[in-house]
């Protein structure tokens, strides 16, 4: 299940409706609609089946809402299930990388690709999983400012290089990960996670996907 | 099921063993091993279950071999199944885009990312599905040389922009696709396909994935 | 006077000391010191004169602290005064641009340059001046997601182009600003503000300048 | 004489006319003309003199056709002769670099510049001279995948750097070539060959030059 | 006071009026006006106060003219004074960097940003302060051609990296400066100077600022 | 014959020997040798034949020296002759482009590639052929500052695009040249000239080629 901003009751309360009220007062040029569409494509949702209903209910129980990325895929349940299966395996299954580390990769890749949806949702996840709001901000703004230990720095350097110039990745890059202690499987997981957000960022950017408002206030 | 070079018996015959023989004579500095590893990570395959065995047998029956990208995922069957499910939905399920058009997107994205594995496997697919070997070469080398009609050109221009600078995609980019006749769902499919290869290219580059030798001679 | 996160008493309370406590628990690889240096250069502060003392007291009275960028310049009061004079003129003096608009330019330029200090300090200013926390996040992450009106969008597009490829700015770029209603003086102010943060971002990045902890929680 | 795909009788037979037939069936949006122009500029050929007639006959005798790049220059025989003289000296005269190595440089430079004509013609030459079709594909797609020995890798790394950022070439780059055994003259030849294709790629791209169809099937 | 081309009487004589005469004969497509505007924004000068009058008179006495960058700021004396104060402190106050070294940084940064005004004015300053016209040309064209000693090369490499990719500056970059003998304060001065021209280049490019004609012939 | 700075007697007089004297006094870190090598490769000159002797004498008679680029090729007379033939045809043969326009292309391409040799030699040629020293400076620094007419601006925009991203040149780019009055042959000549300097810049950068000192003072 996607990045879970649990324990964000006040944020959830201050969600959609609160934002509409606030919008009314502000003097900026930003246009906001009462009921903003989640993506810029007009794709009506398919009827949800029992499996998806249960999955969405689990989201609501645990984090208070269904992440918009899942709603964005409801126009085709086969695509929603394929996306969720891959997401859940990568981000939640056992791995030599902690869940926080996988979220750090998600944010750093999304920062290179300047993906508003993913930076919002996964930035919240980093703040929450680390209990260190500033760490989340650093991952969004410039991970090099975070003074990470050599292991995590190498992990993020690899993810960024794989994002920016994948054709230049070579044996020395993999060896740099081994040198700081990552296993063969860890290297796969770093790679697959960075690669996944290179996909997910582009689906979000191509469709102008909008994050749930609750993420903004999560774990500040 | 991945790019299927059916009817490539001669290519298959001229496959691995032929290459070893040839390697022996050639005066280049390229190092080739008798049994080359598929990826540069040492990840032993898990025991295959019946579902995967059947899937692989279907590959062998139809195209004569199991694509190396699938073998690369056998170290973890959950990952293999998630990848295959997404792949099959994107590339083979009904869509307003023809299978050839989806393969064209695959190659053009892989050309931006200079991914040896994907250019080899999906270049073969374009040659085969189009019956136009030169078209496959153009997708690999520079799709702008192909003098495509306005619809396919817009499709590939969008895929390339989404690959290179996803953060700049905006309403006019989506409207350019609508103007040449793409539906809302087609725009999703173009986006999701381009996005998928931005993932797959990076898994392949991160792991130095090697394509099956048979692809090189397919549908020339 | 720099970006003023007034009315952030709770944030101020949750500042430095709170962070130290939190740091102790967190399982990330980030190294934090009890008393973190503001910049990575060892430059002892000069004795402050009365003018600077008064200025700093004004900061404390109004926003609860002296912004670290000012402390970073205390090694040389002439430099501190020159910087402050230019800053105050640009950001606070009368202009056809609102203070919020000038802060939006500051953040968008700093996002191109991935400047941790300026994104933190001026992101807080956008949140506070707009009363729209999400707007601040959008300026940091990707201003194109903000659906601004044509005037503000043109202003930020100009600032970004001036940041990324200043040598390509030409008459059509200035005309695009005139077309959405900016005066000759407004164009100067947009240019000078964007230019100033291209300087300030680089002083911060060159010296690894660290923002006051209070900014992170301001106006969320 | 340019890249010579000798022993490609079947390819030659399957040339232009075969392609027209195939085009008729294929369902892609690619527009092909019965008699496609070689370049997108309307420049009538000058009357050939005896020297050029003899040169072209030698091409036909040896490789079955006159390479289109030569036909593209026939609008001005002085230009054709200057181009051919430089080409023949660089690619065919004695050198510490083998002919295959010079063709490898040609393809790798053309891959950076994404030149359809040169990738097609010189990709064929690499396949033919090496007897290793896969090597040709690797040079086109991503030479880093080829696992070359240190000497050839250094040669191509230099050619790519000289192509992408010539202003950064400095003593350490030349020394890296010396360290793997290249002589002073070899370094000149590597440089001059890489430089030549930076010219030739741009003449081809500027004029939309089309390669002879026979190259596509050569030495597969 | 800005870059002072003193002892350029002949250049000054050959200034504006000479240029108009020359323009009349030349067969190029360049449009030149009798009285060319200094910037492309229509901003009338404010009445100068005594302080500015005295400053401008000092310029005329020392270098024969008032630099156009100062005239460009006369529409707002507060901005002119802030700019001049920062400029004079950075370029003329005591520093571990010589005045020539500060001008070298100015030119090298302006070369990355391709700023016509700053390259002209500060290129002249390098020629004059060094008594080495070729050095000025090298700073404009490609500082790597200048075969500087390790100290000055490191200084300029840092300035260029800070200009091109400020977000990648990290401890090893600062240490590289320390290693060739720069003090903590020197590093601040290198950084602040490079940063200042990243601002000044952009004000000049945004406004199409035109340098005084006298610079072109200075110290050749 | 290469860029001919005729009528530069004073410059010639102030050449090599003057520079050595000046070097002795200057306080910069630039290392200069009494007899500086023309290139950084140790390649002894071949004995010149009568044709080359006559060509070099013609250079000395007309411009007072043999351009270093020709001396750089004397290690192999076949290469020198091929280079000179192509150079003379492109830059001196009849064309719809004036000699000045061809030199403007040379400088603008060399500015993108930051080639010290070519900017020096061809910058001098633009100053001399135009009688407008400032025009030469603009071509070196940023041709967009030159306020050229539409025809010359389109010519240089094409040359720059062909230099930076040749793979994106397409029919609209060629049509933009036709629209401002260029013939099919003119488009060839623009392309071939821009392409030639993309070669020549790289030979110069790869070998660290040093321009004759006389160019610096030519036609100031």
* Best residue of C165, C166, C167 to probe chain F, by most F CBs closer than 10 Å: C167
Query: Please, what is the average pLDDT of chain C?
Result: 89
Residues of chain B in contact with residue D115, where contact means CB-CB under 8 angstroms, are: 141-142
In whole angstroms, give the CA distance from residue E100 to residue B87.
Answer: 61
In whole angstroms, give the CA distance from residue F88 to residue A97.
Answer: 63
Q: Residue D26 is nearest to which of B23, B131, B141, comparing CB atoms?
A: B131
- Residue whose token pair is 């407008």: F132
Residue F177 and residue F158 in contact, taking contact as beta carbons nearer than 8 Å: yes
Residues of chain E in contact with residue F28, where contact means CB-CB under 8 angstroms, are: 100, 130, 132, 135, 148, 152
- DSSP assignment letter at F146: G
Q: Does E96 touch chain F (CB under 8 A)?
A: no
- Classify the complex by whether its ipTM is higher than 0.90, answering yes or no: no
Q: Which residues contact D172 (CB under 8 A, 6 or more apart)?
A: none
Q: Does C81 touch chain E (CB under 8 A)?
A: yes
In whole angstroms, give the CA distance from residue D84 to residue D52.
Answer: 10
Listed residue (F219, F194, F12, F212) closest to F107, CA to CA = F194
Name the token pair of C108.
């968008």
Contact B145 D30 (CB under 8 A): no
Residue A169 and residue B205 in contact, taking contact as beta carbons nearer than 8 Å: yes
Percent of chain C with pLDDT over 70: 85
- Provide the shortest C-alpha distance from residue D129 to chain B (in Å): 9
Residue C120 and residue C211 in contact, taking contact as beta carbons nearer than 8 Å: yes
Query: What is the per-residue pLDDT for A99?
Result: 98
User: pTM (2 decimals)?
Assistant: 0.91
Q: Cβ-count burial of E11 within 10 angstroms (0-12 exposed, 13-18 middle, 19+ buried)?
A: buried
Phi, psi of E48 (to 5 degrees): -75, 140
Pick the more confident residue, B1 or C195.
Answer: C195
- Residue whose token pair is 């996964």: A122
Which of B178-182, C190-194, E23-27, E59-63 shows the lowest mean pLDDT across its residues? E23-27
- Residue whose token pair is 């296993």: A183
In whole angstroms, give the CA distance from residue E107 to residue E127.
Answer: 11
Residues of chain D in contact with residue F198, where contact means CB-CB under 8 angstroms, are: 195, 198-199, 202
Q: Chain C residue with minimal CA distance to B166?
A: C142
- Residue whose token pair is 């990243």: E198
Residue B12 and residue B215 in contact, taking contact as beta carbons nearer than 8 Å: no
- Provide the shortest C-alpha distance from residue A144 to chain E (in Å): 7
DSSP string, E66-110: --HHHHHTTT-HHHHHHHHHHHHHHHHS--SS-HHHHHHHHHHHH
In which band, very low, low, confident or very high, does the pLDDT at F198 lie, cut at 50, 70 and 90?
very high
Indicate contact of B with D: 3+ CB pairs under 8 A. yes
Residue A212, pLDDT above cutoff 90: yes
Phi-psi region of F52 (alpha: psi -120 to 50; beta: other; left: phi over 0): alpha
What's the mean pLDDT in D10-20? 34
Q: How far is CA B147 from CA B134, D29, D32, F179, in A?
A: 12, 8, 8, 22
Q: Does C170 touch chain F (CB under 8 A)?
A: yes
Name the token pair of A82.
């394929």
In which band, very low, low, confident or very high, does the pLDDT at B6 lie, cut at 50, 70 and 90?
very low
In which band, very low, low, confident or very high, does the pLDDT at F30 lie, cut at 50, 70 and 90?
confident
- Mark out the alpha helices in A6-141 (DSSP H runs): 9-13, 16-25, 50-63, 68-72, 77-92, 99-112, 116-130, 133-141
Residues of chain B in contact with residue A83, where contact means CB-CB under 8 angstroms, are: 86
Chain C partners (3+ C-beta pairs within 8 A): A, B, E, F
Query: What is the per-residue pLDDT for D29?
Result: 72
CB neighbours of residue F202 within 10 Å: 27
Give pLDDT tens digits for B45-88.
Answer: 999 999 999 999 999 999 999 999 999 999 999 999 999 999 99
Q: How far is CA B43 from CA A14, A173, B75, B111, in A?
A: 47, 18, 6, 28
Q: How far is CA B15 from CA B22, B214, B215, B220, in A?
A: 11, 5, 9, 15
Contacts for D175-179 with beta carbons within 8 Å, 24 or more apart?
D179/D154
The secondary element (H helix, E strand) that includes residue C161 is helix C150-164
* Best residue of A38, A104, A118, A142 to probe chain C, by most C CBs closer than 10 Å: A142
Please give the radius of gyration of chain A, using alpha carbons only, rounded to the nearest integer.
Answer: 18
Query: What is the per-residue pLDDT for A6?
Result: 39
Give pLDDT tens digits for F50-101.
Answer: 999 999 999 999 999 999 999 999 999 999 999 999 999 999 999 999 999 9
- DSSP assignment letter at A77: H
Listed residue (C14, C67, C59) closest to C200, CA to CA = C67
- Provide the shortest C-alpha distance from residue C26 to chain B (in Å): 30
Q: Residue F188 is nearest to which of D41, D113, D208, comparing CB atoms?
A: D41
Residues of chain B in contact with residue F170, where contact means CB-CB under 8 angstroms, are: 144
In whole angstroms, give the CA distance from residue F97 to residue F91.
Answer: 9
In degrees, rounded to 5, the angle at the alpha carbon of residue F155 between the alpha carbons of residues F154 and F160 is 95
- DSSP assignment letter at E208: T
In whole angstroms, give the CA distance from residue B119 to residue D150.
Answer: 25
Collapse the DSSP code of A199 into the 3-class scheme (helix H, G, I; strand E, B; otherwise coil) and give the result: helix
Residue C207, pLDDT above cutoff 60: yes
Collapse the DSSP code of F84 into the 3-class scheme (helix H, G, I; strand E, B; otherwise coil) and give the result: helix
Residue F197 and residue F121 in contact, taking contact as beta carbons nearer than 8 Å: no
How many helices and strands in chain D, by DSSP H and E?
Answer: 12, 0
Give pLDDT tens digits for D97-147.
Answer: 999 999 999 999 999 999 999 999 999 999 999 999 999 999 999 999 999
In which band, very low, low, confident or very high, does the pLDDT at F156 lie, cut at 50, 70 and 90?
very high
Query: What is the per-residue pLDDT for E26?
Result: 44
Query: Please, what is the average pLDDT of chain B?
Result: 89
What's the mean pLDDT in B97-115? 98
What's the mean pLDDT in D30-54? 87
Residue C158 and residue C190 in contact, taking contact as beta carbons nearer than 8 Å: yes
How many helices and strands in chain C, by DSSP H and E?
Answer: 12, 0
What's the mean pLDDT in F18-37? 52
- Mark out the alpha helices in chain E (DSSP H runs): 9-13, 16-25, 50-63, 68-72, 77-92, 99-112, 116-130, 133-141, 150-164, 171-179, 184-207, 214-217
Contact E116 F135 (CB under 8 A): no
* Best residue of A19, A30, A40 to probe chain C, by most C CBs closer than 10 Å: A30
Percent of chain B with pLDDT over 70: 85
* Best residue of C114, C144, C147 to probe chain B, by most B CBs closer than 10 Å: C144
DSSP string, F177-208: HHHTT--HHHHHHHHHHHHHHHHHHHHHHHHT
Query: Please, what is the average pLDDT of chain E?
Result: 89
In which band, very low, low, confident or very high, does the pLDDT at E31 lie, cut at 50, 70 and 90?
low
Cα torsion angle, B202, B208, B213, B217, sign: positive
Contact D188 F169 (CB under 8 A): no
Give pLDDT tens digits for F93-143.
Answer: 999 999 999 999 999 999 999 999 999 999 999 999 999 999 999 999 999
- Provide the shortest C-alpha distance from residue C209 to chain E (in Å): 11
Query: What is the per-residue pLDDT for F220?
Result: 93
Percent of chain B with pLDDT over 90: 84
Query: What is the per-residue pLDDT for C123?
Result: 98
Query: What is the per-residue pLDDT for A24?
Result: 36
Contacts for B42-50 with beta carbons within 8 Å, 24 or more apart?
B42/A184, B43/A184, B43/A185, B43/A188, B43/B75, B44/B75, B45/B71, B45/B74, B45/B75, B46/B74, B46/B75, B46/B76, B46/B77, B48/B74, B48/B77, B49/B77
Residue A78 and residue B89 in contact, taking contact as beta carbons nearer than 8 Å: yes
Cα torsion angle, F16, F18, F21, F27, sign: negative
Residue A125 and residue A211 in contact, taking contact as beta carbons nearer than 8 Å: no
In which band, very low, low, confident or very high, does the pLDDT at C29 lie, cut at 50, 70 and 90?
confident
Burial readout F119-143 (b: 16 or more C-beta within 10 A, e: otherwise): bbbbbbbbbbbbebbbbbbbbbbbb
Indicate contact of F with A: 3+ CB pairs under 8 A. no
Give pLDDT tens digits for E102-142.
Answer: 999 999 999 999 999 999 999 999 999 999 999 999 999 99
In which band, very low, low, confident or very high, does the pLDDT at A29 lie, cut at 50, 70 and 90?
confident
- Provide the shortest C-alpha distance from residue C91 to chain E (in Å): 12
Pick the more confident residue, C24 or D130.
Answer: D130
- Provide the shortest C-alpha distance from residue F108 to chain C (in Å): 13
Residues of chain F in contact with residue C168, where contact means CB-CB under 8 angstroms, are: 144
Listed residue (A89, A177, D142, A205) closest to B201, CA to CA = D142
Percent of chain A with pLDDT over 70: 85
Cα torsion angle, A151, A153, A157, A160, sign: positive
In whole angstroms, give the CA distance from residue E103 to residue E101.
Answer: 5
The secondary element (H helix, E strand) that includes residue A162 is helix A150-164
Give pLDDT tens digits for B121-164.
Answer: 999 999 999 999 999 999 999 999 999 999 999 999 999 999 99
Give pLDDT tens digits for D151-192.
Answer: 999 999 999 999 999 999 999 999 999 999 999 999 999 999
């Amino acid at each position: 299940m996607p990045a879970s901003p649990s324990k964000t009751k006040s944020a959830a309360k201050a969600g959609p409706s609160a934002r509409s009220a606030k919008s009314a007062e502000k003097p900026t040029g930003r246009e906001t609609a009462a009921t903003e569409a989640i993506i810029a494509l007009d794709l009506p949702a398919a009827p949800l089946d029992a499996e998806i209903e249960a999955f969405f209910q689990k989201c609501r129980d645990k984090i208070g809402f269904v992440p918009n990325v899942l709603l964005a895929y409801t126009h085709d349940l086969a695509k929603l299930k394929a996306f969720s299966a891959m997401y859940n395996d990568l981000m939640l299954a056992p791995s030599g990388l902690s869940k926080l580390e996988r979220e750090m990769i998600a944010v750093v890749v999304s920062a290179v690709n300047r993906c508003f949806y993913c930076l919002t949702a996964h930035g919240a996840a980093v703040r929450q999983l680390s209990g260190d709001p500033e760490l989340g901000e650093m991952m969004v703004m410039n991970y090099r400012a975070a003074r990470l230990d050599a292991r995590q720095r190498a992990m993020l350097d690899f993810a960024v290089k794989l994002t920016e110039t994948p054709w230049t990745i070579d044996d020395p890059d993999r060896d740099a990960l081994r040198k700081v202690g990552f296993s063969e499987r860890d290297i796969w997981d770093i790679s697959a996670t960075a690669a996944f957000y290179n996909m997910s960022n582009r689906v979000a950017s191509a469709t102008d996907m909008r994050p749930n408002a609750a993420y903004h206030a999560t774990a500040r």
